[in-house]
Structure formats: structure tokens, C-alpha cells
């Protein structure tokens, strides 16, 4: 169904900052093409062409449908859904029709990895697992500090509230000065 030159799937496991990137290269235009996402998306999915322009798409289950009028490259980026088990271990479920590279940052410690991996490579700041098409479950924990979006959101809220109070103080001072000037002008006109 797909006239593809290649599909490369990269999964970057970095705790809460995990990311899935899919690079697809088409050599002929396809009116409608679909790409199966290897991991369920947690949030919005970004689909761009080689110039960085957004491409309209439709998602149904784990399938991304998009239209390509010209040959070229497509990049799909999204945050994967990661389960949190009862013991605090994180779990990612991968179901892929393509060869997949799983990059684990140096602060990610795998507790279980598939036994049928195709390759294993150590990098300067992590490891890369090469997986053949199939279904996989990888459990892992993070060993470094974990930054959550809730904490960041709370900080933004606190800063917004303090900005509101400081703005309110300025408004009160301006109103007081306007009142004093009004009283002085009224007294001056009465003389």
C-alpha cells in the first residue's frame, strides 16, 4: 500500500521527557498513506515535511493517515504513553511493523528488555536497542531527578499570581495619585 523508500522509528526513553520520532521517506506521491504508530501517543502528534511545514493528518487508533502530493520526507513526533506500574516501574509497550531503534538515556535503567533484540550499542550518553518488527514490553526506572509538568505548571501559576498582585499594587498607586490631583485641581478652581 505504501510507496516508501524507508521508515525509521526512534524511541527516546528519558523518563518523563520521552519522545517518539518516525522518519518516512516517500519516492512516489501517495494520495492517502497510513503509518502505524509503534507506541500509543499521550498527547498531540506533530507531522511535518522536510521543510518543517505542518502536514494535515487524521489519527484513528494508532494509525496516522496523511496525504502526500509530492515525494519527500515526513517526520512524525509525539510523546509516548508510558504506564506506571504499582511498584513505581515505568513500562512502554511497543508494537511496530518497522525496524525500531530504542534510545535509553544514561538516567534510564531498564529492568526488563526483550530477549530477541537485533542489536545493542553503547553511546556516550546512553544505549541504543535495535528491535525487529514485533510486539515488545520494556520496563525501566529513572535514576536521576524527574521533572514533572505539574511542578512546572504550579511554578507558572505562582509567578502569574505574584505578577497579578504587583500589578494590582501599581494600579492602586495610580488611582490614589489621580484622586489627589483631582482634589488639588478642584481646590484650585474654588479660589
**Claim to verify: residue 161 and residue 188 sit in the same structural domain:** yes
Q: Supply the mean pLDDT for the chain.
A: 78
pLDDT at 86: 92
CATH number of domain containing 87? 2.60.40
**Claim to verify: residue 138 and residue 156 sit in the same structural domain:** no
pLDDT at 136: 92
| Full-model pTM | 0.64
Query: pLDDT band for position 137 (50/70/90)?
Result: very high
- Scored b (16 or more CB within 10 A) or e, 5-32 reads eebebbbbbbbeebebbbebebeeebee
Looking at the structure of the chain, the number of domains it has is 2
**Claim to verify: residue 81 and residue 134 sit in the same structural domain:** yes
**Claim to verify: residue 153 and residue 118 sit in the same structural domain:** no
**Claim to verify: residue 74 and residue 162 sit in the same structural domain:** no
Q: Which residue has the higher pLDDT, 145 or 154?
A: 145
Tell which residue, 15, 162, 37, 174, has the closest CA to residue 89.
15
Per residue in 66-122, pLDDT (tens digit) is 887 777 788 888 888 888 999 989 899 999 888 888 888 888 888 998 888 898 899
Range(s) of the domain holding residue 179: 148-191
Q: Which residue has the higher pLDDT, 58 or 50?
A: 58
Amino acid at each position: 500500500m505504501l510507496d516508501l523508500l524507508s521508515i525509521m522509528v526512534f524511541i527516546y526513553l528519558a523518563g518523563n521527557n520521552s519522545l517518539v520520532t518516525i522518519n518516512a521517506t516517500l519516492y512516489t506521491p501517495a494520495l492517502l498513506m497510513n503509518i502505524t504508530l509503534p507506541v500509543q501517543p499521550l498527547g498531540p502528534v506533530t507531522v511535518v515535511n522536510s521543510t518543517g511545514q505542518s502536514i494535515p493528518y487524521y489519527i484513528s487508533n494508532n494509525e496516522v493517515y496523511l496525504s502526500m502530493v509530492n515525494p519527500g520526507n515526513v517526520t512524525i513526533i509525539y510523546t509516548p504513553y508510558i504506564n506506571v506500574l504499582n511498584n513505581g516501574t515505568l513500562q512502554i509497550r511497543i508494537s511496530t511493523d518497522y525496524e525500531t531503534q530504542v534510545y535509553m538515556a544514561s538516567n534510564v535503567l531498564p529492568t526488563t528488555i526483550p530477549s530477541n533484540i537485533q542489536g545493542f550499542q553503547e553511546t556516550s550518553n546512553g544505549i541504543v536497542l535495535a528491535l525487529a518488527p514485533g510486539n515488545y514490553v520494556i520496563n525501566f526506572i529513572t535514576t536521576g531527578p524527574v521533572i514533572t509538568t505539574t511542578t512546572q505548571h504550579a511554578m507558572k501559576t505562582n509567578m502569574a499570581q505574584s505578577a497579578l498582585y504587583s500589578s494590582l499594587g501599581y494600579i492602586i498607586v495610580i488611582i490614589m495619585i489621580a484622586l489627589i490631583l483631582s482634589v488639588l485641581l478642584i481646590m484650585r478652581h474654588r479660589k
